[in-house]
Amino acid sequence: MSVIKGFGTYDVRFPTSLGLDGSDAMNPSPDYSAAYLVLRTDEPDPAGASDAPLAGDAYVFTIGRGNEVQLAAIRAVEPLVAGRDLDETLADPGRLYRELISDSPLRWLGPECGIAHMAIGAVVNACWDLAARRAGKPLWLLLAELSPRQIVDLVDFRYLSDAITPGEALEMLERGAVGKAGRVAALRRDGYPAYATTPGWLGYTDELLAALCTEAVEDGFTQIKIKVGARLADDKRRLAIAREAVGDKVGIAIDANQVWDVPTAIEWVRALASVSPAWIEEPTSPIDILGMAAIREGVRPVPVAGGEHVPNRVVFKQLLQAGSIDIMQIDACRVAGVNENIANLLLAAKFGVPVCPHAGGVGLCEIVQHLAMFDYVALSGTMDGRMIEWIDHLHEHFTAPATVTGGRYRVPETPGASTQMQPESLAEFAYPDGPAWHGSGLR
């Protein structure tokens, strides 16, 4: 009998604040970081080049300080998972997910939000990485090849049945199964649309902004994103530079990263309307459902996008029920893992809202591409109005890095969830004693 032996945890931080990569109005100098988990087993790795046992890798994205508490939360989940039979666990991943989110002490800390919920997400995602590596398939394909009934069984419909029932979800997935093989072939041939956030970090100079916008167009992107919200005059200047660089046919989304209250958001977005924003992202508190709805009404026709900081499926349900968002932005590491994000994708499909996943952080492009591709193949059946965020930072630290060419994600084929970091990177960027942090002046 193979069992889950336990966790290995790592505090991994990249000093992105030195170049202001990732800077925005709420987070002026982040260090992109990962509270990193290795879920260890005693089963030989079928693809391993050495005698190392099979493992699953995952993480929670943070911006540096905060890794400590997130890692403590991940370790608090370990007693609930260590010692489990591996075959039984992977045979019913819906059961593991439901048991973890229902654990009374962890639930008391949430419920279903915050560091405990994200820790559960890391564990659930690590299990899916392990399952996909064991099966010899990329995660998107492993999920897409499940039957509609198996996919429904992954989801906890508690608190959702007033918006979507298991029966409705099953019907949508059965419709989504029609033509699945053709969509797999199309995905492998054409990839999945991407948009570029790399040009638009708030701390970049005007010169760098212009150069990166031009480069994004040359690289085939049809949309970029610019951070806004610090000073209106600066936003107008920077957006004018971006529009001149990309021309009239490339979309420019704007992202306020939650800095405004409702009246300010409406006034500010109206002041930027001349650039014809593709959307305004996170204009206020991500859980202010009625405030988001008021902003959506007040800034029409500019679409409202949100979701990267939405803590659970219940808030997504309410945002959709209230008509608060035009675009849903799931995050692979904010909610309780793959299972809960499948619930979010089902909700979006029920309400007819496109999903454009958030991926602005270390490792987020790598894992969330699998969810978007699963959605296309097995549920929504379309890429219209959908694209995945792309930032051109830190991919080299992963054993199977996400790849974008011609403005489109190329389909990952390596078994797993693309979440495994290079061992050398785990050592180099370990905080605070890794070599990358010696002499940085940031410790």
Question: Cα–Cα distance between 148 and 69 in angstroms, integer?
Answer: 37
The answer to whether 204 and 212 are in contact (CB under 8 A) is: yes
Q: Which of 358, 370, 393, 397 is catalytic?
A: 358
Q: Which of 5, 117, 225, 227 is catalytic?
A: 227
Whole-Å CA distances, 271 to 229, 239, 278, 291, 406:
12, 12, 15, 19, 33
> DSSP string of 20-41?
TTT--SS-SS---EEEEEEEEE
- Residues with pLDDT less than 70, the chain: 48-50, 439-443
Instruction: Give the per-residue pLDDT at 438.
Output: 83
3-state secondary structure of 114: helix
Task: Indicate the DSSP class of residue 53.
Answer: E
Q: Please state whether 247 falls in left (phi above 0), alpha (psi between -120 and 50) or beta.
A: left
Question: Cα–Cα distance between 326 and 319 in angstroms, integer?
Answer: 10
Tell me the torsion sign for CA atoms 335, 337, 343, 349: positive
Whole-Å CA distances, 198 to 15, 138, 150, 223, 361:
16, 26, 38, 11, 11
Instruction: Give the per-residue pLDDT at 50.
Output: 64
E strand residue ranges, 178-292 = 192-200, 223-227, 251-255, 280-281
Enclosing H/E stretch for 5: strand 4-13
Instruction: Give the per-residue pLDDT at 250.
Output: 98
| CA 206 from centroid of its chain's CA atoms | 28
Nearest CA to 337 out of 94, 36, 125, 28 is that of 125
Residue 370 annotated as catalytic: no
Enclosing H/E stretch for 328: strand 327-328
Amino acid at 312: N
Instruction: Give the per-residue pLDDT at 292.
Output: 98
Tell me the torsion sign for CA atoms 62, 389, 417, 434: negative
Instruction: Give the per-residue pLDDT at 295.
Output: 98
Instruction: Give the per-residue pLDDT at 439.
Output: 67
Instruction: Give the per-residue pLDDT at 443.
Output: 59
Residue 358 annotated as catalytic: yes
Q: Which pLDDT tens digit goes with each residue over 201-251?
A: 999 999 999 999 999 999 999 999 999 999 999 999 999 999 999 999 999
Enclosing H/E stretch for 268: helix 262-271
Peptide bond into 30 cis (omega under 30): no
